[in-house]
């Protein structure tokens, strides 16, 4: 079976190769990718006919992780991969975003890009291979596509930039940057960063772009040799004559009046009224009526874009750099551990923070061996009522997962270490109202909720989105600070940036055009920097300037101690009997790490003190002269057994119970009595013994010393 071709290039010190025609021959395009020992199968397929009843290009991107790729068996009874992991969902979104704008906007054929991870080399991240492979598979296929595009990742370890870092460098470095671009322009930026300054971020972005140009030359070579001729498609574009007929009924100035208002509901009502006028005018013209909804949308879009680009007039009357009215407050939800509300115009988020012991950290099962649990989790919900719609919630979709992950990345760099704050942390952003950029409102609200909960974050973090409307040439563009929904729908870019006063912590960039120039990228960074500093210096600081000095009264309290790792087994006990008894008696949760760090979590101070006392007693060897308090748990003819802590007992011989002779232990002691004893050391048989009658002498000697 030698009827296939293999193409190779050196990429960041490793060999990237792709087999064309080796597998997946019935797909429109297939690239069998290899980078080091990482193997990813990437396919592109298209339906034969357009899908009826859709007003968008139906592109689906699926990134699937196979556990056999890392030699693991899936969990559960079925031993089969199930629901896509969060990492798989986020990777699918990263593949989708740079490629979607390169397909024809007026095409309605279903297109599916599938990337299946079959083998993972820790030195070569499969997510990167999938991004490159998806572009190759689509470029060589007969599916209409204005690519190729390419993707490169950048890490930062000890101040050194690393192109396409290994998994460990990616996980533990100060930068996780992914850049996709065509031969001419930037298509997508995704990043998590440890306060990287804007100037440095631009440098890293264009270092990645330079590598992408090498990849694109490689892909073009493959396309020129084995690429298929692009097939025609049935366009659903609105005929220009229909627009002209619409303008006769609703002139452009009337559409401007309908659209340009700062209230979303008013605008929607105005556009609905315009649509009804057009329906009445076109009654009997079935072709126009069938296209009317999309035509009104396009007419509205053309109107908004023209006014912004030519007259610098925004739909709600704001200046190009002006942020919508802001409001922030904290502590609005009683009894939760921390809460905050952030409002920007008609976008409103309520965020609730919950603290828990480290044992409640989210367990993560995936292909990355470095990440097995998440101590900090941010989740985002977008109910239908937030946009005035009625729809049953079916759980978070890809958008919700992506927005939650973005806010999570934004705040990770400012969280305290486990040693500083030994809690698991969960923030949930509930969208109360939406009119654009709820993910950035989530970042602001989450930051304040963390501070309200008493989480000692290092700095405040805020986020803002910058939009774009472009003209016919590269230098004909307008940047928009704080885009609302309409400017997002009708504009060309949603450039989200979060950060502190000192640098960027996260980026997510979506575009609808064939790339951004450097002037746009640098301008957007500056706009976002100015805006987030304005937000932090204003409403956020006014609402809460610093973290609460202590955690909320309803939050669990955590105290830490360290024990000899050799004593962990004594505290845990056989099959967990000892530690479970401590938990039962004190009402506290107790977690022990392999290095001997013990976390005691509870809401009752007395219970926590008791748990600490128990553990100290268990791990401390009995020594002569040591004074202890124990409980009588068993009575024998020869003495009484005392429990000093769960799993730790000792014997008081009958002769050591009282100053005078007693015939029966029961004459002095009964079960459950709490008594003070002194350790006498080991007897001739090596057993540790205790005395009640010698306690006074022991205390007197201790005082004299």
39-96 pLDDT, tens per residue? 999 999 999 999 988 889 999 999 999 999 999 988 777 888 888 999 999 999 999 9
Q: What is the pLDDT of residue 497?
A: 98
Q: Which residues of the chain does CATH 3.30.1370.10 include?
A: 556-620
| Token pair belonging to 388 | 């005035």
Task: Give percent helix, percent strand, percent coil of the chain, each to the nearest 5.
Answer: 35, 30, 35
Written out in words, the top-level CATH class of the domain with range 240-311 is: mainly alpha
Backbone dihedral angles phi then psi of residue 515, each to the nearest 5 degrees: 110, 165
Q: Name 592's bridge partners.
A: 598
Closest alpha carbon to 595 in 559, 563, 554 = 563
Query: What CATH number was assigned to the domain covering residues 326-543?
Result: 3.30.230.70
Helices (H), 65-183: 86-99, 126-140, 167-172
Helix or strand holding residue 530 (H, E): helix 518-535
529-547 pLDDT, tens digit per residue, is 999 999 999 999 999 999 9
Rounded Cα distance between 118 and 33, Å, is: 10
The CATH homologous superfamily to which domain 622-705 belongs is: Nucleic acid-binding proteins (2.40.50.140)
Peptide bond into 148 cis (omega under 30): yes
Q: Are 142 and 228 in contact (CB under 8 A)?
A: yes
Cα distance between residue 613 and residue 628, in whole Å: 11
The confidence score (pLDDT) of residue 705 equals: 66
The ranges of the chain with pLDDT < 70 are 1-2, 705
Count other Cβ atoms within 10 Å, centred on residue 230.
12
Domain 5-182+189-226: state its class.
alpha beta
In 3-state terms, what secondary structure has residue 519? helix
Nearest to residue 4, comparing CAs of 31, 39, 27? 31
The model's pTM is 0.89
C-alpha count within 13 angstroms, C-beta hemisphere, residue 358: 18
Q: Please, are residues 361 and 378 in contact by the beta-carbon 8 Å criterion?
A: no
Q: How far is CA 612 from the centre of its chain?
A: 35
Distance CA 443, CA 460 (A): 10
What's the pLDDT at 2?
Answer: 60
Which of 88, 108, 98 has its CA nearest to residue 40? 88
Q: Which of 415, 432, 464 is nearest to 351 (CA)?
A: 432
Report the DSSP beta bridge partners of residue 39: 34, 119
Sign of the dihedral through C-alpha 226, 227, 229, 231:
positive
Radius of gyration from C-alpha coordinates of the chain: 33
Question: Residue 449's closest CA among 532, 516, 380, 520?
Answer: 380
What is the 3-class SS of 108-139, one letter each residue? CEEEEEEEEEEECECCECHHHHHHHHHHHHHH
126 neighbors 151 (Cβ within 8 angstroms) = no
Which ranges in the chain are annotated with CATH 3.30.230.70? Answer: 5-182+189-226, 326-543
d(CA 522, CA 525) in angstroms, rounded, equals 5
Domain with CATH 2.40.50.140 in the chain: 622-705
- Predicted confidence at residue 372, as pLDDT, reads 81
Percent share of the chain, pLDDT over 70: 100
Its CATH architecture, for the domain 556-620, is 2-Layer Sandwich (3.30)
Residues of the chain with CATH 1.10.10: 240-311
135, 150 in Cβ contact below 8 A? Answer: yes
Residue written as token pair 């204003």: 538
């Amino acid at each position: 079976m030698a009827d296939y071709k293999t193409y190779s290039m050196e990429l960041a010190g490793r060999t990237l190769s792709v087999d064309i025609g080796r597998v997946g021959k019935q797909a429109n395009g297939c690239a069998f990718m290899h980078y080091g020992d990482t193997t990813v199968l990437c396919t592109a397929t298209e339906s034969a006919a357009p899908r009826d009843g859709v007003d968008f290009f139906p592109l689906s991107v699926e990134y699937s992780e196979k556990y056999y790729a890392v030699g693991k068996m899936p969990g559960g009874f079925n031993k089969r991969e199930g629901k896509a992991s969060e990492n798989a969902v986020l990777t699918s979104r990263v593949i989708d975003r740079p490629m979607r704008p390169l397909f024809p906007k007026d095409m309605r054929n279903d297109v599916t890009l599938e990337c299946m991870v079959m083998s993972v080399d820790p030195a070569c991240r499969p997510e990167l291979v999938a991004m490159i492979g998806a572009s190759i598979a689509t470029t060589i296929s007969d599916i209409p596509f204005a690519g190729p595009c390419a993707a490169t990742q950048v890490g930062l370890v000890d101040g050194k930039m690393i192109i396409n870092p290994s998994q460990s460098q990616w996980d533990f470095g100060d930068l996780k940057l992914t850049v996709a671009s065509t031969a001419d322009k930037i298509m997508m930026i995704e990043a998590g960063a440890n306060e990287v300054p804007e100037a440095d971020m631009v440098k890293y972005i264009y270092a990645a772009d330079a590598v992408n140009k090498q990849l694109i030359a490689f892909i073009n070579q493959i396309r020129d040799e084995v690429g298929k001729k692009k097939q025609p498609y049935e366009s659903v574009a609105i005929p220009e004559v229909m627009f002209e007929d619409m303008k006769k009924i609703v002139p452009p100035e009337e559409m401007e009046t309908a659209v340009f208002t700062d209230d979303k509901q008013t605008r929607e009502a105005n556009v609905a009224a315009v649509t009804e006028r057009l329906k009445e005018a076109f009654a009997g013209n079935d072709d126009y009526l069938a296209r009317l909804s999309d035509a009104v949308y396009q007419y509205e879009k053309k109107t908004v874009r023209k006014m912004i680009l030519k007259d610098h007039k925004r739909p709600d009357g704001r200046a190009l750099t002006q942020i919508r009215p802001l409001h922030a407050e904290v502590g609005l939800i009683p009894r939760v551990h921390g809460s905050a509300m952030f409002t920007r115009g008609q976008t409103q988020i309520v965020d609730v923070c919950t603290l828990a012991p480290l044992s409640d950290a989210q367990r993560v099962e995936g292909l990355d061996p470095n990440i097995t649990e998440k101590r900090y989790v941010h989740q985002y919900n977008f109910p239908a009522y937030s946009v005035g719609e009625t729809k049953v919630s079916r759980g978070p979709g890809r958008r919700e997962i992506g927005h939650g992950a973005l806010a999570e990345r934004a705040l990770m760099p400012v969280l305290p270490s486990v040693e500083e704050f030994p809690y698991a942390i969960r923030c949930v952003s509930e969208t109360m109202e939406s009119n654009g950029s709820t993910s950035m409102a989530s970042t602001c609200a989450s930051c304040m909720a963390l501070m309200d909960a008493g989480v000692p974050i290092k700095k405040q973090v805020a986020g803002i989105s910058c939009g774009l409307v472009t003209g016919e040439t590269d230098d004909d563009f307008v940047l928009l600070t704080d885009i609302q929904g309409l400017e997002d729908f009708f504009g060309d870019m949603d450039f989200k940036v979060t950060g502190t006063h000192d640098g960027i912590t996260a980026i997510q960039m979506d575009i609808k055009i064939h790339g951004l120039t450097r002037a746009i990228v640098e301008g957007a960074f500056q706009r976002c920097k100015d805006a987030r500093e304005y937000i932090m210096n204003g409403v956020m600081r006014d609402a809460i300037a610093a973290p609460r000095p202590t955690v909320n009264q309803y939050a669990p309290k955590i105290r830490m101690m360290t024990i000899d790792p050799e004593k962990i087994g004594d505290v845990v006990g056989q099959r967990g009997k000892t530690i479970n008894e401590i938990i039962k008696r004190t009402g506290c949760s107790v977690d022990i790490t392999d290095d001997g760090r013990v976390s005691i979590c509870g809401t009752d101070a007395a219970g926590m003190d008791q748990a600490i006392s128990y553990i100290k007693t268990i791990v401390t060897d009995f020594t002569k002269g040591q004074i202890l308090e124990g409980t009588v748990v068993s009575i024998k003819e020869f003495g009484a057994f005392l429990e000093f802590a769960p799993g730790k007992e000792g014997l008081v011989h009958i002769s050591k119970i009282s100053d005078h002779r007693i015939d029966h232990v029961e004459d002095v002691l009964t079960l459950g009595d709490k008594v003070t004893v002194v350790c006498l050391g080991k007897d001739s048989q090596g057993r540790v013994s205790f005395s009640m009658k010698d306690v006074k002498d022991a205390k007197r000697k201790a005082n004299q010393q």
